[in-house]
């Protein structure tokens, strides 16, 4: 799950003959690029975006790529990122869940039990386990920043943020941001400024 596992059907749909350049020991039409099996992996010389871009430039089939090289590059980059877990660079026995792992075809190919376990690990890792660390770092660094200038500071508290952000901002007296055309409340097309909390700045 920490490597890009690619199904024949997916590869045929994206690349046809062109995809072969990047699979290990695969049956034609993918032999130059991927390994042989129903689930393919990128070759070692195609294991990063930089390596893929370099190989595309030196590809013997370049005449086939002229009109669609950019699209093929983007598709290959997307496939390279089709992973569920990221290996810890400091300890090969440890892994971290990638962000938005549910959007990958690798995740969708898993059985329901594996999906359930991975989703539980994912939400714990991104939305619970780091909360104490986020809060500690914020209370350590933000007061220094706030005291370093007489300017009015505000915090970017839009979008996906740790649940500790708003309490910490209130504790430090740091105003938040609100953009009327980008309301955080579901179902609203525009935010209602009169309903914004006191310590916010809106645009």
In the chain, pLDDT over 90 holds for what percent of residues?
21
The pTM for the full model equals 0.61
Evaluate if residue 198 carries a pLDDT over 60.
yes
Evaluate if residue 64 carries a pLDDT over 70.
no
Evaluate if residue 72 carries a pLDDT over 80.
no
Mean pLDDT of 178-198: 83
Q: Which of the four pLDDT bands, split at 50, 70 and 90, describes residue 28?
A: very low
Rounded to an integer, what distance in angstroms lies between the CA atom of residue 69 and that of residue 71?
A: 5
Evaluate if residue 35 carries a pLDDT over 60.
no
List, in order, residues 6 or more apart from 18 with CB less than 8 Å away. Answer: 61, 64, 65, 72
pLDDT of residue 10: 54
DSSP-assigned letters across all residues of 92-151: EEEEEEPTTGGGSHHHHTS-HHHHHHHHHHHHHIIIIITHHHHHHHHHHHHHHHHHT-SS
Span 103-158, pLDDT tens digits: 988 898 889 999 999 999 999 988 888 898 999 999 999 999 999 989 888 888 88
- Rg of the chain over Cα atoms, rounded to whole angstroms, equals 23
Evaluate if residue 36 carries a pLDDT over 50.
no
Q: Alpha helix (H) ranges present in the chain? A: 8-14, 49-57, 62-65, 69-80, 105-108, 112-124, 131-147, 165-172
């Amino acid at each position: 799950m920490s490597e890009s596992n690619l199904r024949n059907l997916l590869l045929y749909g994206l690349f046809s003959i062109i995809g072969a350049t990047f699979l290990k020991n695969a049956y034609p039409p993918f032999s130059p690029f991927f390994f042989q099996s129903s689930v393919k992996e990128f070759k070692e010389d195609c294991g990063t975006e930089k390596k893929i871009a370099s190989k595309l430039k030196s590809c013997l089939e370049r005449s086939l790529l002229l009109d669609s090289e950019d699209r093929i590059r983007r598709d290959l980059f997307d496939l390279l990122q089709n992973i569920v877990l990221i290996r810890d660079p400091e300890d090969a026995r440890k892994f971290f869940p990638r962000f938005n792992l549910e959007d990958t075809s690798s995740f969708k190919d898993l059985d329901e039990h594996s999906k359930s376990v991975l989703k539980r690990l994912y939400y714990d890792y991104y939305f619970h386990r780091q909360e104490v660390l986020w809060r500690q770092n914020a209370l350590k660094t933000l007061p220094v920043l706030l005291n370093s200038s007489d300017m009015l500071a505000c915090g970017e508290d839009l979008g996906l943020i740790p649940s500790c952000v708003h309490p910490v901002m209130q504790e430090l007296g740091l105003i938040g941001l609100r953009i009327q055309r980008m309301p955080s409340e579901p179902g609203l097309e525009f935010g209602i400024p009169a309903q914004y909390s006191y310590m916010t700045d809106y645009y």
